[in-house]
Amino acid sequence: MARTSSKREHILDIAEKGVLSKGFSATSIDEIIFEAGVSKNGFFYHFRDKNALAKAMLQRYLDNEEAILDRVFEKGKTSADNPLDAFLTGLTHLSRLMADLPNGHPGCLVATMAYSERLYDKSVRALNKEAVLSWRKRFTNALKEIAARHHLQDDVEIEHVADMITSVIEGGIIQSRALNEPRLLSEQILVVRSYIKLLFQPQ
Amino acid sequence: MARTSSKREHILDIAEKGVLSKGFSATSIDEIIFEAGVSKNGFFYHFRDKNALAKAMLQRYLDNEEAILDRVFEKGKTSADNPLDAFLTGLTHLSRLMADLPNGHPGCLVATMAYSERLYDKSVRALNKEAVLSWRKRFTNALKEIAARHHLQDDVEIEHVADMITSVIEGGIIQSRALNEPRLLSEQILVVRSYIKLLFQPQ
DNA sequence: CGGATAGTGGACTTATGGTGCAGTAATCCC
DNA sequence: GGGATTACTGCACCATAAGTCCACTATCCG
């Protein structure tokens, strides 16, 4: 067979879709291998067990998300002359990106894994934690850069505001799904943008 | 046996703990009945199938949450003389309530069910949707009452701000779990409180 | 004392996660 | 061009899980 595995990525695609619509344990290996057109041992060749599948899925998801966030906020920086406008523009781009997804955001693996932690081993839980911490770091750094130039209009900790951006995105995805309102997430991002604006812009 | 079933509630308690820590399908009926000290047919006497268990769990969870929110925001109203202060005080109470949970919030069933929707039938999905809509209604009504007296400091839709309160709570729970930081949720509620304050209070 | 409520016990079916073993086709390295 | 490595297929097997069927029982209410 081919040297570079195309089936591995195919398995991950199918597994991710299943996990985000039914949860991890309801997504059976038999079902994955059937859809991927691969044998059972073909699956176990790539992933020692289901936990290894979870870890690979999560790692791939995080790499992809990071690249998207990098791109969006980099784009914000080029079109603005101060950190506040850059960040606000970045959030606008992110909102539009979410609005352009035809069926809404497919769901966040970090959220599903946080809600079924007992299923995974230490390494997956550590990876999930690291991901949330990296978002905290990303947004905290951006907000600190803003705070260096603009006075805070309320007594809140920068780090908590950074976490709130993540909260709104995760919560927005949940509500989008529960209500079947794909646009809700992008609207929520604009609301948190409104907060950042009010928090740093004197009226 | 006793007339009023104590075992039914016991089953629901154990099932809820399992679902919030491992997910729905990973929480086996065999495991539930073992922990509850009930026979398999004892389980199926109360719940036609696993879907009926999910529905009963969710209904009980929602009734409980509604009672808590009613209490918290009612308390806010008695200690303030205007709707803005009443709502801000309610959020402070809610934040404190979450901070006082020794192991943090146990998790939201609405979120887990939104993330494994394909597992449940129409009635469960409808109940989940109804729950999110009831939160939207609750917060929208409160915010509209405020908006009748205070001028909005930014161009945002009240309903989106209402949804944001739910977003921050759901997202706060996810991050609390992922990071194992029980206090994060209560901090997040104070940040959304800060937004409501800035949004209605002229500087 | 009859009927409803709240169960127990056991046998059975199908699906799922996972293991073990034997074998194969392509490719890379020397 | 030959041996190791990669990327698989096929089959048999095991324990656990959801769910069904049937027969039976204990308690309470009117």
pLDDT digits (tens, 9 = 90+) for B160-184: 999 999 999 999 999 999 999 999 9
CA–CA distance, A199 with A88 (Å, rounded to integer): 12
CB A146 within 8 A of CB A90: no
pLDDT of res. B202: 76
pLDDT of B11-45, one tens digit each? Answer: 999 999 999 999 998 999 989 999 999 989 999 99
Q: Which of A3-12, A44-53, A127-136 has the lowest mean pLDDT?
A: A3-12
Q: Is the CB of A30 under 7 A from strand D?
A: no
Residue partners of B167: CB distance under 8 A and separation at least 6:
A167, A168, A170, A171, A172, A174, A175, A188
**Predicted pLDDT at B139:** 98
Q: Is the dihedral of CA A71, A72, A78, A83 positive or negative?
A: negative
| Cβ B118 to strand C below 7 Å | no
User: Which nucleotide across the nucleic acid strands is nearest to A43, CA versus C1'?
Assistant: D8
Q: Give the model's pLDDT for residue A1.
A: 45
**What's the confidence (pLDDT) of residue A203?**
64
Q: At what angle do helices A83-99 and A184-200 cross, to 10 degrees?
A: 170
The partner residue sitting opposite B156, judged by closest CB among A131, A161, A194, is: A194
The span from the CA of A161 to the CA of A166, in Å, is 9
CB crowding B138-150: b at 16 or more within 10 Å, else e: bbbebbeebbeee
d(CA A33, nearest CA chain B) in Å: 19
Q: Is the CB of B179 under 7 A from strand D?
A: no
For residue A2, give how far its alpha carbon lies from the nearest alpha carbon of chain B (Å): 35
Question: What percent of chain A shows pLDDT beyond 90?
Answer: 88
CA A33 / C1′ C22 distance in Å: 21
Give the integer Cα–Cα distance in Å for A106 and B9. 35
In this prediction, the residues of chain B whose per-residue pLDDT falls under 70 are: 1-5, 203
Nearest nucleotide to the CA of A51, by C1', is C17
Residue of B16, B19, B115, B151 to mutate, interface with A, max A Cβ within 10 Å: B115
Chain A positions touching B115 (Cβ under 8 A) are 20, 23, 107, 111-112, 115, 174, 177
Burial environment of residue A31 by CB neighbours within 10 A (0 to 12, 13 to 18, 19 or more): middle
Distance CA B82, CA A173 (A): 33
pLDDT at B1: 46
User: What integer pLDDT is reported at residue A167 of this predicted model?
Assistant: 98
- The whole-number pLDDT of residue B27 equals 92
What confidence score (pLDDT) does residue A6 get?
Answer: 72
Q: How confident is the model at residue A16 (pLDDT cuts 50, 70, 90)?
A: very high
